[in-house]
Amino acid sequence: MSFWTDDVTARDVVAVGIVLVSHSPQLAAGLTLLAGQMAGPDVHIEPAGGDQDGGLGTSDELVRAAIARADQGDGVLLLCDLGSAILTVREVLDGNGNGHIRLVDAPFVEGAVAAAVIASSGAPLDEVAQAAEDARDARKL
């Protein structure tokens, strides 16, 4: 399909990005791979794991850089693993309450996969965020 035709709809273009914020660079990278394999290559999923030196922790600089890479114009969804990652993201988003970049209260793994799969359909930010949050209720057994 050519993007120069009139048949292109909003759902033909994946534009919502996802950032996975973890204390562990390996966990963020691994979940990025998993969610990316489930959703396909068109979803912009970026890890922001660990501190600036590659150790355990979180880094506002890594989060900002990941948001910039993931932002394709229709918003960025952020998912975090633990409490202080949420604090780091809130610090980054302080004063940026336009809704274009959104932190969701969702399970890290299930929420990331659900968000990525829904984002792959070209869904808007609200739907991608809702899918991540709804993953909280997914039963495993």
Cα gap 48→14, rounded to integer Å: 21
Q: What is the DSSP string of 23-56?
A: S-HHHHHHHHHHHHHHH-TTS-EEEEES-TTSSS
Catalytic residue check, 23: yes
Radius of gyration in angstroms for the set of CA atoms belonging to the chain, rounded to a whole number: 15
> Looking at 18, 21, 22, 23, which residue is catalytic?
23
Exposure on the CB side of residue 121, measured as CA atoms within 13 A:
10
Catalytic residues: 23
